[in-house]
Structure 1
Amino acid sequence: MALRPPRDAGPGEVRIVGGVWKRSKLPVPHSPGLRPTPDRVRETLFNWLGQDLSGWRVLDAFAGSGALGFEAASRGAARIVLLERDAQLAAALRGHLKRLDKDGTVPMTIENADALAWMRREAAGSFDLVFLDPPFAQDLFLAALTAAAPLLAENGLIYLESPGPVAVPEALGLSAWKEGRAGAVHYRLLRRGG
């Protein structure tokens, strides 16, 4: 049987699965390597985290479609920072925020920035939760974990999405808490300090 080439579906959309923006759709522009976190993986992740993130400080370091950061905002996070290197994708994220946050009260910042460089400059202990879903083809997993670990408050969490398990150096002070797999996506939550 011949293998079919990957289908280029062009622009698509992701759906927010919980919180005040539940069922809202986020259009996703076509961009090479962009691979939004699947709905069922986000449902599992937010079942692990809890549905109410009130008071949480959240960083979505490789925002892409924005699905993870907007899920956190939908669940009441107190501070949400989305980082996206691609200017077109960052502009799309700003458009989503403007459409969903009609009264301008959601504490979300969207920056067109290199995630690794940005994280290396940010103050230690600034976040309770960091989402890391770097482009799979660029093999940034260890570099991203190394840059993100100091940003966590005590007992803070890192969500890491990758094509397979990533060895986490003991020196980072992170321990595995939960993990799962869905198709070609391996995902796990790591906790700082325990």
Structure 2
Amino acid sequence: MMTSDIAKDRTTHLLKKKGSVSSLSSHEFRRKEPHGRPKDSVSTVSYMDEPSQREDASRLIVQMENTYQLGPTKHFPVVIVDHILKDVLTNYLQEERYEPEFCKQMTKTISEVIKAQVKDLMIPRYKLIVVVHIGQLNSQSLLIASRCLWDPKNDNFSSYLFRNSSLFALANVYSVYLE
């Protein structure tokens, strides 16, 4: 017996033990590998024991559920987000003075912190947009506006304005429901 025949016999024996039947027989199908050597082809078929009556009964009972929802099951909590905005802006900017480079970095940091805290509320199916403006408070007037196309029944926003002696900060969180 050649080495490859012994390996085939072992493979056949192992496959039969595991519940598979091999197609190895005296009529083996051989094909050429790219290097010119013949390659043996082995195909296996797996089988399963007969199902019990208990499994048949459980398979017959199928519960269907309508998963289509009209609108959100949990709405955006404006009051909670207002408190988050107030806490974050107050904690980060209470004692700070206006410096352009510092404020540029703080807008990024504060917006990321706000977004993380609002995401922790686990509000399903809402896309969050957080915008933070920080500017110098110096007897000037400034108008900040935003426009959004949304569904007023499902979408909402939260906004908070913070001021100290040197700067102002405006944080907005927009929540848009995704269907």
TM-score interval, normalised by the smaller of the two chains? under 0.3
Greater RCO, CA 8 A, separation 6+ = 2
In terms of fraction of residues, the more strand-rich structure is 1
In terms of fraction of residues, the more helix-rich structure is 2
Whichever of the two has the greater Rg, that structure is 2
